[in-house]
Amino acid sequence: MKTWICKKPGEFVLEEVSKPVLQPEGAILKIKRIGICGTDLHAYEGTQPYFSYPRILGHELSGILTEIDGVSDFKIGQKVSIIPYFHCGECIACRTGKTNCCAKMQVFGVHIDGGMAEYISVPKSALISAEKLDFDAQALVEPLAIGAHGIRRAGVTQGEYVLVIGAGPIGLGTMEFARIAGANVIALDVNDSRLDFCRNNLKVPHIINALTDNVNEKLSEITNGEMPTVVIDATGNQKAINNAFQYMAHGGRFVLIGLQKGEISFSHPEFHKREGTLMSSRNATREDFDHVLDCLAKNKIDPNSFINFRMSFEEVSEKFDYCLNPENGVIKAVIEIPD
């Protein structure tokens, strides 16, 4: 079978490798869709902190179950996706239900080789399915779960003002689940085309461009002088993260979904007087995946509206760079593997 390997930052090589062999308590999937996410883009750029090379990227996946070991409710030929966070089940995090931040976490396509291949082998415990969803939608369940987890971490309640910084795919999903939680959503970005997408496609009521608007003044105006009670970063940009501390309301929460390599810097007195809460949001749990699947089943969210760029499996090396340029207006890119 064929697989794309990121040999080093900026270099993809298509190689012929052996098809994976079914493992005990495992499953084999024929891949149909591979979503390209910020983690993949950052790995390609060399700015993702958890990466070593060479690496097969890809963890937003959907496909067809071709083999499975042992007894299972899943059937051969069934459309499936995966939860790509392989946890140990024994560490302090796993024992307390926080499998998303397992001390020995192996994220498919990050710490270990992933799904940018024609076939993959995964533990059958990682399988998820929603037969009514098409392959595109199933490939987007994982990034939507990232946003759903961030909103759950923040404990968003009805009527709160929630500022989401970054209108990329993760930020957009976060905005959608903030809306579903009953929040008043505010989108902040520097890209007008992405902000237009928030306004026109997601019906986000409040839009701020950090380059052309006075962010503090706009936030104060929107929130009647109180500022957002929840601020969520989905950029992974150090400057954006450091600036965002000043946007929190007194008693507010700041959740970091985005990830960067540097150090966070903020005014302790300003943070202290707000009695602010700072927390990270890593990956997602099965509870978040179930919430996403429930919302999709009830048509509370349209994942297919995010996809505006496609490439075939053979075009990865040729077209991957296109996704990196903000001027190209790529919201969500998907790699397709035909039969």
Tell me: the pLDDT tens digits for 16-43?
999 999 999 999 999 999 999 888 988 8
State residue 131's pLDDT score: 80
State residue 30's pLDDT score: 98
Q: What DSSP string describes 78-118?
A: -EEEE--EE--S-SHHHHTT-GGG-TT-EEBTTTB--S-BS
Name the packing angle between helices 192-200 and 169-180 (round to 10°). 30
State residue 322's pLDDT score: 94
CB 10 within 8 A of CB 109: no
Pairing of strands 85-86, 79-82: unpaired
Surface-to-core class of residue 271, CB atoms within 10 Å of its CB (0-12 exposed, 13-18 middle, 19+ buried) = middle
Percent of the chain with pLDDT over 90: 89
CB 202 within 8 A of CB 175: yes
Q: Please enumerate in sequence order all residues whose Cβ is within 8 A of that of 6, keeping only pairs 6 or more positions apart, or say none.
A: 12, 43, 44, 53, 54, 55, 56, 57
- Please give the Cα distance from 136 to 182 (Å, whole number): 27
Q: Return the bridge partners of 121, or none.
A: 28
CB 4 within 8 A of CB 116: yes
Residue 160 has which token pair? Answer: 């709160």
- pLDDT tens digits, residue range 213-266? 999 999 999 999 999 999 999 998 999 999 999 999 999 999 999 988 789 999
User: Which residue has tokens 């699947």?
Assistant: 293
- What radius of gyration do the chain's Cα atoms show? 20
Residues of the chain whose pLDDT is less than 50?
Answer: none
Q: Please enumerate in sequence order all residues whose Cβ is within 8 A of that of 217, keeping only pairs 6 or more positions apart, or say none.
A: none
- Secondary structure element (H or E) that encloses residue 279, with its range: strand 277-280
**Which structural domains are found in the chain, ordered by start?**
2-139+302-336 (3.90.180.10), 149-280 (3.40.50.720)
CB 82 within 8 A of CB 128: yes
State residue 327's pLDDT score: 85
Residue 42 has which token pair? Answer: 């950052």
- Secondary structure element (H or E) that encloses residue 198, with its range: helix 192-200
State residue 326's pLDDT score: 84
State the pTM of this model.
0.94
Residue 193 has which token pair? Answer: 């085309």
Pairing of strands 26-36, 332-336: antiparallel
User: Which residue has tokens 């994220």?
Assistant: 107
State residue 338's pLDDT score: 85
State residue 292's pLDDT score: 96
